[in-house]
Structure 1
Amino acid sequence: MADLVRDTLENYSAASNLMHNEKIREMMASGQTIYHFGFGQSPFPIMNKAADRLAKHASESAYLPVAGIEALRVAIRNFHNKYDSISFSADDVIVGPGSKELIFLLMNIFQGDILVISPSWTSYKPQVMLSGHKANVVPTSMEDEWKIRPEKFTQYLKDNNLSGTKLLIMNNPDNPTGTLYTQKELSDLSEVFKREKVIVLSDEIYGRLTFDDSFVSMAKVYPEGTILCSGMSKWASMGGWRVGYHVYPEKLSALKNAVRSAASHTYTTVAAPIQFAVAEVLNDLDTCEAYMRHTCRIMAAAAQYCHKELSEVGVSSVKPKGGFYIFPNFEILRAKLKARGIERCEDMVKSLFDETSVSVMAGGPAFLRPETELTIRLCYVNFDGAKALAASERIGLESSLPENFVQSQCSQLYDGIQVLKQWAKKTLE
């Protein structure tokens, strides 16, 4: 019965991050102590009164416009105007049940080559395959901070004879590396994109989780060729609410219309109570602002702690500038691991888990890295977000977090990183 599945999906499998999380959650539910650094879900409770707003609109039961109610699309427009200094019409917005669904629909209707970056989020390449396209994987390196560079990107297109219209899926800030493009870097890339006929799906789902407030939207520097992709799952801790959206420039209205048409044949509309509630949440910008500032500085402290502790044992990584992730390379352990018969990253990760109950994900193949490269994605969200948020609010935004904040308020994260650090030290002995 194998011939029931398309040939192009021969090596296709479920989302590795979701499968990993389900397995680890089952083990934790059985009473096992596990340091779970394998899944990027916000640790924080949702904003004050957000749940009340959802309850208020629970009786809304009508089918709503496919692209989303106008009040929500207007709120999205105003939100990005304030935080990204970009202007667009509410008619340019399509709201969907999570940004993942909208990315997939875009891939399905797009005619041309699709490019994904190595490393990248686990679902980009599988979505390309599901949509019937070939995934063209653009390599990067830690030396380049895991960023695509104009000259190397241009050479990649030339070497692979990619001359037509292309769609590049670009995550900024990045999952899994935590890297962040500067405005100058985005501007330099935009010149290449214009010349090489590259449309950018700029996945900015972590845009409001930039630690030094330096985030610049690709839609600001390359407005005519950028589809802005974002949602409420990360900065607003509403992953289970499933609200994402795309913003299309006027020049790409044909793509917008085709995606909206595809949406009418697939998900139809985002749940009515959630649309009305999120519109009210986004219109309460004072609450959003305070929430973002508190959660961002907590995540910044967590990222700094992880980077510092791993660096002390010689594990190299790019210091995260935003999001939930760090992407360390355990190359320093290669000789010692090889002596134990461990040469693949997945084997290293398994050994780490068996010996310490520290759970992480290998960089390859899920994140499109070579299987022998000893990179891992570590999600530094394994702590009690409600406790940490309450502590930050008590301290107040006028004061900085104390140096021992991670140890005192994010103890699960603190302990898990110490266990990982000691494992690395022991392996090196």
Structure 2
Amino acid sequence: MAGSHRSRVQFPDVLPLPERQAVTCALRTETVGGLVLLAAALVALVWANSPWAGAYEHVRDFHFGVPSLGLDLSVGHWAAEGLLAVFFLVAGIELKRELVVGSLRAPAMAALPVVAAVCGMAVPAGVYLLATSVGGGGTGGWAVPMATDIAFALAILAVISTHLPATLRAFLLTLAVVDDLGAILIIAVFYTAGINVLPLCGALAGLALFSLLQRLRVTGWWWYAPLGVVIWVLTYNGGVHATVAGVAMGLLLRTVRDEGEQASPAERTGHLLHPLSAGIAVPLFALFAAGVSVSPDALGEVFTSPEPLGVVLGLVVGKTLGIFAGAYLAARFTHARLNPDLAWADVFGLAALAGIGFTVALLLGELAFPDAALGEHVKAAVLIGSLAASLLAALLLRRRNRLYRSLHEEET
């Protein structure tokens, strides 16, 4: 028994100094970005429910672009297809890093966050399908409550926490990376409207050239920036959601440093684009996606229509139960075990915090419900579910924070 205990791998494990620095840097950026994201969402809600709501809709629906390239898009569409491609490019870089040198590089270390994240996607989808089947609604929005908004979640955690273990933040970050991968796969597989083979083949050829440039150690943004734009345009015209192009390029960037190299291409690109993603791209998307009516009638629809109600229940109930049950099952039946610095009560609070869907949930809502009226109700459900999840997590984690603070005071 003692031998099997020693062979188990704890998660989150103690990382080497460079990895701890990378995690800390990412957490700081995401926390600040989450506060900017919150501000953008509040501006959108106030603007869309003010006497100037007509101006909001006019700006959001204003079209511009290059029609000859198939890019005559609205401002809101540009934000969803274009700006979020930067966000998913950064997500692809972080996913590659975790898979190559981070917490997901070894199967035993990856077991706990992967199982927790998968359950945290499957259970909300199941809750949504149950709610819509009982209420007689459609099943098309099953993916909406599956997403976690890491920036928003870390911003809430930063407001709550002064004494919670640092490993709790590392757990949340790794969980969100796996969650992002799930969202990427769902968008690519289930929300591809109609394939246009020729542009898509061009996009694949562009990605092959991108990979070749990486293998040949070609440096210089003047090679990659134009190529990235071409890949994005071809992906969009190929019928695949253009954010997938960002993820693909992020996964192709080299993560491991060559001898004598101060930073890998992935590190340099992530360092350059992370502030752009967290401070501009995602907040602008939220500005044009979160502007929904919060009138009593609109809010009533959230709790009386099966699809919006399924989203709320999926985010608040499904995410919490799914992530906690997944983590417990992984610790119980695999070689992974929870870091001794964490208690299961901490994991439960963290699971509730992961119910903040927001950015990717809003994007999935737009893709799943192109009908304007129902789409607006689903967006409102995402906002209400995310708010409820943040309040539940704040209640749970503040209690844990008080406990850790009292322990810290006793020790010092």
TM-score normalised by L of structure 2: 0.28
Which structure shows the bigger proportion of residues in helix conformation? 2
TM-score normalised by L of structure 1: 0.27
